[in-house]
Every structure is written in C-alpha cells, then in structure tokens.
Amino acid sequence: MADGENNRAMTPAARCPGMSYTDLLDLDTRQVPEFLREESLLELTDAPLAADRYTSAEFAALEDEKMWPNVWQFAAREEDFPEAGDTVVYENAGKSFLLIRQEDGGVRAFYNVCLHRGRKLRTQSGFSKELKCPFHGFTWNNDGTLKEKPCPWDFQHLKEDKMSLPELRVDRWQGFVMISEKQDIAPFKEWAGPATAHYDRWRLDECYTAAWIARVIPANWKVTAEAFMEAYHAVVTHPQILAFTGDANTRYDLYGDHMNRAITPSAVLSPHVAHLHDQQHILDSLVAFATQGEKGGGPRRPGSRFSDTEDAGASADISDPVMARKLTAEANRKTFGEMSGRDFSDISDTEMTDNFTYNIFPNFSPWGGFIPNIVYRWRPHQDPDHCLMEIRILMRGKPDEPKPKSPPMHLIGEDEPFASAGHIIGAGLASVFDQDMANLPFVQDGLKASANKEVQLGSYQESRIRHFHQTLDKYLSA
C-alpha cells in the first residue's frame, strides 16, 4: 500500500468466506429482531496506532484529565446497594466517588472527600447512617447536607449552604448506575446513542449479579479491554472453542461515538475447522466445555451461562446445518426459562445462543441477549502497565421475587489463575480467561520493545478497536 493510502477513511468490505452471522439469522426458527439484522459500519482508516498510547504515563495522564471526567462511567449495579443508607465506593483514574442509596430509593453520588482537610469519607462500600469523617469528625447526612462540624466556633467562616458535598451526575439504565463528573453531559441514553434501545428488549434491569470476580492484570486497561473486542484471536489463543464458536463469522457493528458490538455465533463450527461439519460433534464439544471440571454433577455454579447437560446433549440430525444451534437454543429456553420463571418460547435462536458483546465507551461491556449475560469493566490500576478487570455474570430473576443483593467482588490474587474462580464462573470460561491473560503481559512488554512503535489492526475484525481509539482521540483533543 502506498504511503498515506491507509490514512483514507473507508468502510471495510471484505468478510470471512462462507456463512455469515446474517445468513444464520435467515435459518433462525423464530422471528429475529430487526436490530440484529441491521449492519452498522462507519468509515475508518487503516492507519497504525502509536504503541505509546498503551505505555506512556503522559498518555494516561491525558486520559485522566480529558477523558474520564467527561464520560458516563458504570459505577455500580442497583443490587450492589439496595437499601437506604447502602453505599458504594467507586474509584477510578485517581478519583474516589461515593454512591448512596437515598430514603426514596434514589441514588446520589458525591466526591468521596471530606470538605475539611480532604480525607476520604469512606474507604469501602457498606451501610452508612451518616457520613462522619474519621479524622476530625465533620459529618454529613446521607443526602450530602452538612450535619455537624466539631468546634463550630472555630469554623464560623464556613457557611452551611456552601458545605454540602459536591455531587456528580447520576443516571440509571438497565440496572446499571452511571455517574459523570461532567455536569452538563447529555443524559446517558442520549449520550451513548440509539443502540441503547436494543436493551429495551433484553431488560438487564430484570437481572441480578450472580457472580462477580476481578483480577489485577499486568497490562494497560486498553490492551486488556481490546482483547475482548475481537474474536480474531480465538483461532490461536482459544483453539478449544473452535468446535462450537463462529469466531471468524463474528459480526462487528459500530454506532456513533460511544457504542459498538460483536456478535459471535455459538453452537456453530468455526470457519477455521469447517471440515469437521458434524452437528453432533458441535453439541458434544459445547457440552464438554460447559461442564469442564465437573465430575458427576454437583450444585449449579452461580455464574454458569450454560444449560443443563442432558438438555444440550440431545442427539442431533446431522443433515441440518444448524441443528446444534436449534438444540442449544431450545435447551437454553427450557433451562433459563425455568430458572427465571419466564416464557422464552418466542425468543430467537440467536438471542438464546450467541455472544452479544456490546461495549459502551470507554470501559463498560454489558452483553446482550437472553442467556446469562457477562458484564466486563476495565479500570486503570496504579500505573499504565496495570488494570483491574472485573467480570460479572447477570442472571434473570423471577418476576415475583426480590432480586438478591450482589455477592462481594471475589478478587483473584495477582499470582493466581482465573481457574481458581472456576467454582464461580465455571472451569471452561475460566480457562478461556487464563488463555487471554497468557498474552496480555507480553503484549504490554512487547509494546515497549517495539522497533517501529506501531500497532496494526485488521480492517473489519478489529474495527471496534479502531472505533474506540477514534472516540478516545476526540476526547483527548477536545
């Protein structure tokens, strides 16, 4: 390619040969929502990215100054702090925020900082009758108004009406509590864009956090997040899932500045192993993955995204090219319908089977569809070479039962594998994360050692990464 040509913005046109995700929708046994059929691409360049975006302290400082304060951040799930007085301490990019459930069920968010001499008011989430600073005892009510200043005779210069805790913007969407430091930011749905409407169907507000794990990863938060923005790496990094994952058939869609998605078909063969073309083999591989590490049953793992074994393992008609999908979808309708007390009989095969990996800029990935949904969040941690990656699994609750409170976040030690949390999210899924983690520290090291200090991206399969950086640049140059 001639110099400069890859700086021209174009819509990527080439696709993996063979059946596409859209073709699969034509074979669905139910009506498929139109927003799954519609492709949404934007014009992007093919120019390389600078490696120091991931490694330099200056770049991270620019993100802290220009990006994080000006976006909506996923700070908590509603079920993390259900009762009046429950609090969540949410920290990111060097700042600490305090969310408090109000008497009327509302949520307020404050800077978690005492207005006397700056001590953090709380260091961890939990119940709060009032907000009493542990240093000298300045105290605020849970609504942020000042309650008491010890020795008031010494603070006659501090006027009550100026002593309420500074607040952040709060918005609530699908059970997620979003906060922003930017007072004049558009409401969350307007800011994130019309693709938020896809969730009107999936209703993650009906779900609760069934599992929540996290680990500090020795790689930049963007390096880590980007490992979950493309399915391109599956063929080499996750060979065990090719027997039931349409990695190269993944659809990538981009929406405005702040949202994009990958839809990776499940219960189909990867185009990389198309010669296997055996529907029973697909089903058997999927069941083996779902039940990995389980000998003789046992209690259901809280974060399992899979159906009960005997349902998914039904014998397949190998002449039907999507029989494994149909059987998997049907097993999921039954298992997750019973678990949630809901009727999924009209829900499409794709929404009962596939992986809807949506991302909302900058660091929030709430999956869509009707099987238990993964939610990722990535935050910088201490320096540009580390991040905290969190994984939640949301389960749909029964309509007539109160949602359980979230379990505490299970923090995996930095020297421990995700496999150590296999009893929470399942050994198969944990092994996939460990495979991802086997790359990330070496990506971080390699970016620093690079001779040309450039990163190259595929035009289509890595379009979400480019989209993400394009939006990041808009914030950094604003």
Number of residues that bind Fe ion (CB under 5 A): 1
> How many CB atoms lie under 10 A from the CB of residue 51?
18
The whole-angstrom separation of Cα 187 and Cα 280 is 48
Under a CB-based contact definition with an 8 Å cutoff, are residues 99 and 108 in contact?
Answer: yes
Which residues 6+ apart lie within 8 Å of 142 measured at CB?
Answer: 84, 85, 100, 102, 103, 108, 128, 129, 130, 131
User: Which of 80/436 has CB closer to Fe ion?
Assistant: 436
Sole binder of ligand FES in the list 127, 135, 155, 442 (CB under 6 A):
135
- Residue nearest Fe ion, CB atom distance: 436
Query: Minimum distance from CB of 134 to ligand FES (Å)?
Result: 8
Chain-centre distance for alpha carbon 105: 25
37 binds, options ligand FES, Fe ion, none, Cβ within 5 to 8 A by partner type: none
Query: Minimum distance from CB of 181 to ligand FES (Å)?
Result: 21
Sole binder of ligand FES in the list 100, 109, 114, 219 (CB under 6 A):
114
Distances (CA, A) of 214 to 197, 378, 395, 408, 425: 28, 10, 18, 11, 11
Per residue in 73-108, is it b (16+ CB within 10 Å) or e — as a string? bbbbbbbbbbeeebbbbbbbbebbbbbbbeeeeebb
Q: Nearest 5°: CA angle at 418, between 415 and 423?
A: 125
Give yes or no for residue 136 binding ligand FES (CB under 6 A). Answer: yes
Query: Minimum distance from CB of 170 to ligand FES (Å)?
Result: 24
Query: Minimum distance from CB of 131 to ligand FES (Å)?
Result: 10
Q: What is the DSSP string of 179-244?
A: EES-TTPPPHHHHH-GGGGGHHHH-GGGEEEEEEEEEEESS-HHHHHHTTS-STTHHHH-GGGGGG
User: Which of 173/289 has CB closer to Fe ion?
Assistant: 289
Query: Minimum distance from CB of 417 to Fe ion (Å)?
Result: 15
User: Which of 119/233 has CB closer to ligand FES?
Assistant: 119
Interface positions, 387-446, toward Fe ion (CB under 5 A): 436
Interface positions, 339-398, toward ligand FES (CB under 6 A): none
Residue labelled with tokens 């997040």: 225
The phi-psi region of residue 351 (left if phi > 0; otherwise alpha if psi is between -120 and 50; otherwise beta) is alpha
Query: Minimum distance from CB of 157 to ligand FES (Å)?
Result: 15
User: Which of 15/119 has CB closer to ligand FES?
Assistant: 119
Give yes or no for residue 86 binding Fe ion (CB under 5 A). Answer: no
Give yes or no for residue 137 binding ligand FES (CB under 6 A). Answer: yes
Give yes or no for residue 119 binding ligand FES (CB under 6 A). Answer: yes
Identify the bridge partners of residue 261 per DSSP, sorted by sequence position: 253, 358
Which residues 6+ apart lie within 8 Å of 139 measured at CB?
Answer: 130, 131, 132, 133, 146, 147, 148, 149
User: Which of 116/272 has CB closer to ligand FES?
Assistant: 116
Query: What are phi and psi for residue 451, nearest 5 degrees?
Result: -75, -45
133 binds, options Fe ion, ligand FES, none, Cβ within 5 to 8 A by partner type: ligand FES
User: Which of 239/402 has CB closer to Fe ion?
Assistant: 239
The whole-angstrom separation of Cα 202 and Cα 370 is 6
User: Which of 66/120 has CB closer to ligand FES?
Assistant: 120
Under a CB-based contact definition with an 8 Å cutoff, are residues 248 and 269 in contact?
Answer: no
436 binds, options ligand FES, Fe ion, none, Cβ within 5 to 8 A by partner type: Fe ion
The whole-angstrom separation of Cα 370 and Cα 351 is 6
Give yes or no for residue 131 binding ligand FES (CB under 6 A). Answer: no
119 binds, options ligand FES, Fe ion, none, Cβ within 5 to 8 A by partner type: ligand FES
Query: Minimum distance from CB of 376 to Fe ion (Å)?
Result: 11
Give yes or no for residue 166 binding ligand FES (CB under 6 A). Answer: no
Give yes or no for residue 133 binding ligand FES (CB under 6 A). Answer: yes
Query: Minimum distance from CB of 165 to ligand FES (Å)?
Result: 12
The whole-angstrom separation of Cα 1 and Cα 56 is 29
The whole-angstrom separation of Cα 112 and Cα 272 is 51
Query: Minimum distance from CB of 428 to Fe ion (Å)?
Result: 13
Query: Minimum distance from CB of 92 to ligand FES (Å)?
Result: 22
- CB under 6 A: which stretch of 37-45, 115-123, 160-168, 179-187 binds ligand FES? 115-123
The whole-angstrom separation of Cα 457 and Cα 120 is 42
User: Which of 122/261 has CB closer to ligand FES?
Assistant: 122
Contacts with ligand FES, residue ranges (CB under 6 A): 114, 116-117, 119, 133, 135-138
Which residues sit at the interface with Fe ion, rule CB under 5 A? Answer: 436
